[in-house]
Structure 1
Amino acid sequence: MRIYLVVGVIATFVAGCNNNTAPINIPETAFVAGSCEVGVYGESSDFVVITRRNENAYYTFNNGITGKIDYEGLLQCGEGAVKIEQSKVLRIQAILTTDTEFDSDGALLAGQLLEPADAGPNTPLVALAHGSEESGWIEAVSYPYQLVARGVSVFVYDKRGTGRSQGQYSQNFVQLADDLAAASQEAKRIAQGRFARFGLFGFSQGGWVAPLAAEKSGAEFIGIGYGLVVDILEEDASQVELELREAGYGDDVITKAKEITDVTARLAVSSYKDGLQELDTLRDKYRPEQWYPLVKGGFTGVLLGMSTDELRDKGIPMFDRLNIDWSIKPMDVLRDVNVPQLWVLAQNDREAPIAKSLERLQTLRGEGKDITIFVFPNTDHGMWEFEQGSDGQRTYTRVTDSYYELLADWAKDAVQPPYSMSEAQ
């Protein structure tokens, strides 16, 4: 049995991130300008979330429209309220917020439990596994607030080496799954008596981590947003293929590029020993061809840009420090998950192309796994809607409508399609 050391817990009934006052009851006609406080403003069907990262504050409406707050923009912050378009005033919601620290394998991690004001024995509780970014999530992302505003209690934490948490930043999925399991135990300990179902939500890289942690965390369900059912090596190869196909190249070029990604995969798992000479040969062979500079992927482009001597003598410090376990096979992991799974995929995801993942999820479903799949059209990684120029560049406009609603309904065991333009698979 793992023992979790609780270093400190502070629980307060808060308005946003104001940890010592009750919500200010402001008539709609009264508004006093003030600093931006993290929290939820408005009612359950019409609200906006305020988050903060570094010195900047951001808004995300319940329908996914988002942006950075400036004092001449769409939204103005006030004392216990926000004003929209210089006219509509939304008051801050009461949220029960508990700040905590917990131990996971010797690292002291910072966490925060957010609960609706009326949280009780029927309220679902989820712990969040975030992506590969090296920044903390506490008060910085909208997910916890989007969910708590919809009646779901949420435990969010800064993963090791980010934000307020100690430890060395890592992309070792087994280690991160242990951290998520520790976070889950802490969440359930604090929320004891005020929750019913407990589950895990993982986003992007968290889609690899949450299934690994499902059993050890005691999850009754999991939800994955824009994750993958391919391993890291397959992801890299899929990205390279998508890059080339979007540039108009066909199977002949894809076959050539696969020669390269097969070798870079061997190099990655062998600490840059197996395949160095072959990589040199392929570089010389394909460098004159027009498609060659377009090869990027997750790591193949980096390897192509380094000399054999550099790879042999120095490795790739930017990757080597991540402690990656290349052996994780998602299909094997998902076959061991015995609770209902929700997978929400972005149809036009460039970072995590969905074709192979969708095929494998349907295979698992055919094997009897309880898997629900939604695909949102015209969306990229992060469930971002976008406008694409003639040069292929994308301008991201908003998080797609109804995405957050789908996640909340899954936590409540109350999924009721349709969700905007999404398609159930």
Structure 2
Amino acid sequence: MKIFASTLLLLAALPASPVLAQTPCTPGTYAAPDGDFVVLAKLPTIPAPGLRYLFRDGRRGLTSDANAPLACGAGQVTVKGTAWQPVAFRETPATFDSVGTKMTGMLIEPPGAEAKRPLVVMVHGSERSSPIGGLYGYTMAAQGISVFVYDKRGTGGSEGEYTQNFELLAADAAHALEQARKMTAGRFGRAGFFGGSQGGWVAPLAATLTKADFVTVGFGLVASPIEEDREQMVSEVRAAGLGKDAEALVNRLSQATSGLLLSDFRTGYDALDAVRREMADKPWAATIEGEYSGAIARMSNDELKRIGRARFDNLELIWDYDAVGALRKLDTPLLWVLAGEDREAPIETTRAALLGLAKEGKPFDVYLFPGTDHGMFEFTTAADGSRSVTRITDGYLKLLGDWIKGDVRGTYGHAERLTPH
């Protein structure tokens, strides 16, 4: 989790047909007769005329991929010989004010009239890209949910400065929900938040600032950014099979670097030097990253005093944020979905905290998808241990939609429910 993330042109002709005879895909959401769907979206990183596709079951890719599982025609797509028709969402641009800043958003409503339709505000991760026109809002809307997406402050059409101050971002999310309620008056039932990655810090806090009927979180952390850094390094040394001594050493490194961060890089250098001396004869030390500690350890003290704060502490991050304390203030029903092998946001501390709070009586549902990395991605692993993501795991998107609608039933891919029914 960088201190959220939150993904066709198979030609509709016979294999021997020339490329020039193909029909380009059109961005939009296309539904199958049985209710399945696929979202096609234009992303800035994809050369025209290609689009990103995402199916409800998590299959993803580019329309230009030779093995894309759909073909594009005039105003429809074809999947396994069946025509899927476009979904006519009602999309309404919006602006709203938050803490003296003008924000931009978009309300996406499914077709038809439904006075009890759920309403969800999508709380972004740490990314700087706009969610408006992206994939994930439409995957919610395609499941019968009204969705409000908005540009994070300092990104897209929203004014202000980009920040990772959870308290300020929570205020923005709370104002977004208030705006969405006004726009859908008489057309929604329960209303709340979804937050992915960094949104897992922001969405629960936002729900303490305004009335929310639910909170959903995917691959977020119930830990501080300092704890995240430490857990990432522990995960790295465990993956490399380096043993308990290495774990203890990276724990001491995290403690030393946190001293610098919490003092605005004024103090803590003696403690960091002591850890550097311990690491000096460890060949693996040069490969340790964490969220920031590896980079800090490899910079000189003079460099850190001169540019450390500008490089590592320029986004108003609350390094020792009390994520458990924020959740203790929350009495709203909450769904938290964990990625079982999350390297970017390791789940050990988060899992224990959530299960402890649920045991205390908090209305929290916790699910885990094994074999998934950050973003709920399945992956392949190379000989050097590096991972290549393949798809979003089957069942994740449907679980989010069903839980928000209050209609969880059956199984969701390989998901494991960790809290009792």
Report the TM-score, using the length of structure 1 for normalisation: 0.88
Deviates more, 1:76-85 or 1:286-295: 76-85
Q: Which residue of 2 aligns with 1:384?
A: 377
| 109 and 77 in structure 1: CA distance in 2 versus 1, 3 angstrom threshold | farther
Answering whether residue 85 of structure 2 is matched by residue 91 of structure 1, we say yes
C-alpha separation between the residues in 1 aligned to 2:30 and 2:291?
36
Answering whether residue 56 of structure 2 is matched by residue 62 of structure 1, we say yes
CA positional deviation for 1:103? 1.4
Spell out, residue by residue over 1:326-359, the C-alpha distance to the aligned partner (whole angstroms, 9 max, x if none). 2420110000001111110000000111111111
Q: Which residue of 1 aligns with 2:9?
A: none
C-alpha separation between the residues in 1 aligned to 2:177 and 2:171?
10
What secondary structure is seen at the aligned counterpart in 1 of 2:338? strand
Q: Which amino acid aligns with 2:75?
A: G
Residues 196-207 of structure 1 aligned to structure 2 (within 5 Å): 196-207=189-200
Contact in 2 for aligned 1:42/1:92 (Cα 8 Å): no
CA positional deviation for 1:290? 2.0
Contact in 1 for aligned 2:249/2:275 (Cα 8 Å): no
CA positional deviation for 1:37? 2.0
C-alpha separation between the residues in 2 aligned to 1:222 and 1:107?
24
Contact in 1 for aligned 2:113/2:187 (Cα 8 Å): yes
Answering whether residue 277 of structure 2 is matched by residue 287 of structure 1, we say no
Q: Which amino acid aligns with 1:423?
A: E
Of 399, 410, 424, which residue of structure 1 is paired with 2:392? 399
| 147 and 43 in structure 1: CA distance in 2 versus 1, 3 angstrom threshold | farther
Residues 147-158 of structure 1 aligned to structure 2 (within 5 Å): 147-158=140-151
Q: Which amino acid aligns with 1:308?
A: N
Residues 17-416 of structure 1 aligned to structure 2 (within 5 Å): 33-43=23-33, 45-54=35-44, 56=46, 57-70=51-64, 74=68, 75-84=70-79, 87-140=81-134, 142-416=135-409
Gapped regions of structure 2 (runs ≥ 5): 1-20
Spell out, residue by residue over 1:26-79, the C-alpha distance to the aligned partner (whole angstroms, 9 max, x if none). xxxxx9824522334434632110122216320001110001222755244444
Q: Which amino acid aligns with 1:389?
A: A
C-alpha separation between the residues in 2 aligned to 1:246 and 1:361?
24
RMSD of aligned residue pairs (Cα, Å): 1.8
Q: Which amino acid aligns with 1:61?
A: F
| 89 and 301 in structure 1: CA distance in 2 versus 1, 3 angstrom threshold | same
Contact in 2 for aligned 1:41/1:82 (Cα 8 Å): no
C-alpha separation between the residues in 1 aligned to 2:257 and 2:65?
49
Q: Which amino acid aligns with 1:254?
A: E
What secondary structure is seen at the aligned counterpart in 1 of 2:32? strand
Report the TM-score, using the length of structure 2 for normalisation: 0.89
C-alpha separation between the residues in 1 aligned to 2:355 and 2:158?
37
Deviates more, 1:252-261 or 1:199-208: 252-261
C-alpha separation between the residues in 2 aligned to 1:343 and 1:101?
29
Gapped regions of structure 1 (runs ≥ 5): 1-30
Q: Which residue of 1 aligns with 2:18?
A: none
Deviates more, 1:368-377 or 1:161-170: 161-170
CA positional deviation for 1:121? 1.1
Q: Which residue of 1 aligns with 2:3?
A: none
C-alpha separation between the residues in 2 aligned to 1:421 and 1:73?
25
Q: Which amino acid aligns with 1:45?
A: G
C-alpha separation between the residues in 2 aligned to 1:371 and 1:117?
31
Contact in 2 for aligned 1:115/1:154 (Cα 8 Å): yes
Contact in 1 for aligned 2:336/2:365 (Cα 8 Å): yes
Spell out, residue by residue over 1:346-404, the C-alpha distance to the aligned partner (whole angstroms, 9 max, x if none). 00000111111111111111211011111001100000011112221111111010111
What secondary structure is seen at the aligned counterpart in 1 of 2:41? strand
Contact in 2 for aligned 1:41/1:81 (Cα 8 Å): no
| 363 and 304 in structure 1: CA distance in 2 versus 1, 3 angstrom threshold | same
Q: Which amino acid aligns with 2:346?
A: P
What secondary structure is seen at the aligned counterpart in 1 of 2:332? coil
C-alpha separation between the residues in 2 aligned to 1:119 and 1:333?
36
Runs of 4+ in 1 over 4 A off after TM superposition: none
Instruction: Figure out how many residues of one structure are paired with residues of the other and give that number.
Output: 393
C-alpha separation between the residues in 2 aligned to 1:163 and 1:319?
23
C-alpha separation between the residues in 1 aligned to 2:282 and 2:358?
42
| 362 and 35 in structure 1: CA distance in 2 versus 1, 3 angstrom threshold | closer
What secondary structure is seen at the aligned counterpart in 2 of 1:216? coil
What secondary structure is seen at the aligned counterpart in 2 of 1:39? strand
